Amino acid sequence: MNTTPSGSIVVAIGADGYEAALQFAVAEARRTGRELHLVHVLQLPAGEAYAGVYGGMLDTAKKTLDEALARATEVAGDDVAVTAELVDNGWVVDNLTRKGDTGSTLVLQHRAMSRLKRIFTVSMVHGAAGKARVPVISVPEEWDPQREDKGFVTAAVQDPVEAPALLRAAFEEARSRDAELVVLHAWWLASGFDVVVVDTAVRDEWAARSREELAAVLAPLEAEFPDVHVVVRVRHAPPVEAVLDAAEASDLLVLGRRHHLLPLGTHLGPVARAALDHASCPVLITPELAVVAVATDEPAVAAPEIALDAAAG
């Protein structure tokens, strides 16, 4: 039985910290008029050998959730309804995504850790962002709820064909925050070709073509969201660098989950992974979108490495 209130903002409560995610989620719930639902998952290794420690771990889990509920109620005040749920079976990522799918958004806190440690512990944020059917928002643990809003939401777009749903989410976020929407497209040739073949003329041509393609996708959304001011930025830079730079000046970074040119089974693209690991602002990952194939007689303008490197998800 799923006890997650329909349409609620679901917050993952971790035993190792949740304050930034909780503060962010309360602000989201207050702005959107939604309920807040806290979920703490207790995952135990299978086997009778662990039966003796179950009781103690369950008591600790209940204490963690009770403390989080008390903190959420304190932060939310009378403005936001708060509920909580303890799940003591199954896997953390599977349970979080299942609970989040009943809600509207799943919010997790991202922990800063070394690459080596992440290899052995596996990122719950990556796992959830790669599976959830609702938007997943990763909040850096150092995010400060008292910081001054920068007034910008940035949407990173690689392929206009796949952009409409991602951009719609970005428009909605920008409107709810009364923020300016920056649509970012970054490109960079793989290997050493960029230094050899890219000059001012090539950069200008690429920028003009990208702006034209994005304009066609943006036009209906700009008509639907006339109160959202939009700026298109085309950068000739490694996409990861461009996205992380944009995060420094944004209140929220919006990315797609994966690009259709990535291998099957790849749930997150390289830029999305880098953003989740290193962005200084909260990152929203949209669910994977169905791709409509478009026939064309034009040859590819770049080697496959370009598309993979430039994928904004």
Query: For each of the chain's 313 residues, which pLDDT tens digit applies?
Result: 568 889 999 999 998 899 999 999 999 999 999 999 999 998 766 554 455 566 678 888 999 999 999 999 999 999 999 999 999 877 888 999 999 888 999 999 987 655 544 443 447 899 899 889 999 999 999 999 888 899 999 999 988 887 888 999 999 999 999 999 999 999 887 655 555 556 677 777 877 888 899 999 999 999 999 999 999 999 888 899 999 999 999 999 999 986 555 554 557 888 999 999 999 999 999 986 543 333 333 333 333 333 333 334 4
The residues facing 84 across adjacent strands are 38
pLDDT value at residue 124: 85
Strand order in the sheet with 36-41: 82-87, 36-41, 9-12, 105-110, 136-140, 283-285, 252-255, 152-156, 180-187, 230-236
Reduce the DSSP state of residue 21 to 3 states and report it.
Answer: helix
In Å, how far are 37, 173, 182, 203, 230 from 134, measured between CA atoms?
Answer: 15, 14, 22, 36, 25
Where exactly does CATH 3.40.50.620 map onto the chain? 9-140
CATH architecture of structural domain 152-310 = 3-Layer(aba) Sandwich (3.40)
Q: What is the pTM of this model?
A: 0.84
Which CATH fold would you assign to the domain 9-140?
Rossmann fold (3.40.50)
Region label for 175, one of left (φ > 0), alpha (ψ between -120 and 50) or beta (otherwise) = alpha
Question: 131 with 97: CB under 8 angstroms?
Answer: yes
End-to-end Cα separation, the chain, in angstroms: 33
**Measured at the alpha carbon of residue 119, what is the angle toward residues 122 and 94, in degrees to the nearest 5?**
15
* Helix, strand, coil distribution of the chain in percent, nearest 5: 45, 20, 35
Q: Which amino acid is at 170?
A: A
Structure tokens at 272: 């999305």
Question: 136 with 106: CB under 8 angstroms?
Answer: yes
**Measured between alpha carbons, how far is 266 from 131 in angstroms, rounded to an integer?**
11
In Å, how far are 11, 220, 266 from 93, measured between CA atoms?
Answer: 13, 36, 16
pLDDT value at residue 195: 55
Nearest to 147 by CA among 74, 10, 248, 275: 248
Would you tell me how many other CB atoms lie within 10 Å of the CB of residue 28? 22
Where exactly does CATH 3.40.50.12370 map onto the chain? 152-310
- Beta strands 283-285 and 136-140: pairing type? antiparallel
pLDDT value at residue 40: 94
| DSSP codes, 176-202 | HHT-EEEEEEEE--STTHHHHH--HHH
pLDDT value at residue 289: 55
